[in-house]
Structure 1
């Protein structure tokens, strides 16, 4: 898994760190019964996903390799020729 550099980007680290804070806030809020703080922690988790995705779209995430793009596009091209031929 580490050879593919899965998750070793600033976007991934930032998203995971913010989500960790959100889960920690929610967990502590469950121990001290505080419903508002539980929802605040869950909102932080949602914000972590938005921040991580925004950072990835801004170029701080892992860029897809050319090989990956070719393997994803190839089946779609084969389907088009099979439909038009048949």
Structure 2
């Protein structure tokens, strides 16, 4: 059962729309599928996507500090079953 949402979950987009080497947007850290299906996603799915973006952002920051290239980051499977 989905949690009742009183407010719309805003898109994590910050207007920097460029795909990185791992396939995630370098601005919001969403995958292509997550960006394409954002408006059709349930509030539950949006919360999962935002949490995943936050983890990816932390992972990207860690890899930059340690000198690991972005291409070595694990890629996430599609949440929408497209792949």
Q: TM-score normalized by structure 1?
A: 0.40
Structure having greater relative contact order (Cα 8 Å, sep ≥ 6) = 1
Greater Rg, structure 1 or structure 2? 1
